[in-house]
Structure 1
């Protein structure tokens, strides 16, 4: 469903499990930091609201969205990490760079999850402009960071 038809911060309570003993890694792209900082704030708040302990959340910053896949792999390799949340933002420009980055990151994050058998969540905005990104990082369409965190929690509930 398109995010302009749904608030990214709304979710169903199904498969929301106790995460007080779960450990999360959040990998955040520094590029477009106004947006990714807001995504991170949303994800962190959602994890804490659902019982995650602050000391069980590891945050890693990578230079850009392209680097999320390797950052996620480094975190997923850690036995104690139960789920990895990747947060980034790619805004369409005048060249095809957008297409290559989005495709590579989506495939990379997917491969990390499959390789390690852990939830590795794609919390990446791929928007046409900055306004759309801001609308989806705490603006009128909610926060993709909230959605990414609740997705990680729900995936842990499915695996149990």
Structure 2
């Protein structure tokens, strides 16, 4: 049985899964670290590199559209998707707009297409907070994607 705690990583077997990853390029240092940690964890979970499709988009607001294209790209082409990005608070309302709309878009794509999406778009007050979270959040996104894909299979 799949558990929610991090000790269950061994029970997550992603060998047969196909995973799509959408990475925002804005704040590229952080999003590259998210990507690297995510892809490394997918490998630990048994997901084969040839079963992973990775694309980049300019920023967090573009992530949902790319996720939607992947979700609709074929009959069950992807078992789960992953959203990677980094939004850092600035001095204007733009932070709230981008954070809220990208998050709502990711959720909508997941629900509209019945495909699990691990949302690892960081929303932080400053860049040091993002850097502290980048590796663990990337790993977590991989685990969430695999766990939810396996859950979807069991429930189908």
TM-score (norm 1): 0.87
Structure-to-structure mapping, 1:8-157, within 5 angstroms: 11-13=6-8, 16-78=11-73, 79=75, 80-138=77-135, 143-157=136-150
Alignment coverage as a number of residue pairs: 147
Name the CA distance, whole Å, in 2 between partners of 1:15 and 1:53.
16
Q: Relative to 1, partners in 2 of residues 1:116 and 1:55: Cα closer, same or farther, differing over 3 Å? A: same
SS in 2 for 1:13: helix
Runs of 5+ consecutive residues of structure 1 not aligned to the other structure = 1-9
**Superposed displacement of residue 98, structure 1:** 0.3
Which 4+ stretches in 1 moved above 4 angstroms? none
Structure with more helix by fraction: 2
The 8 Å contact of residues 123 and 148 in structure 1, kept in 2 or not, is answered as yes
The 8 Å contact of residues 9 and 143 in structure 2, kept in 1 or not, is answered as no
**Superposed displacement of residue 14, structure 1:** 7.0
SS in 1 for 2:131: helix
Q: Relative to 1, partners in 2 of residues 1:131 and 1:109: Cα closer, same or farther, differing over 3 Å? A: same
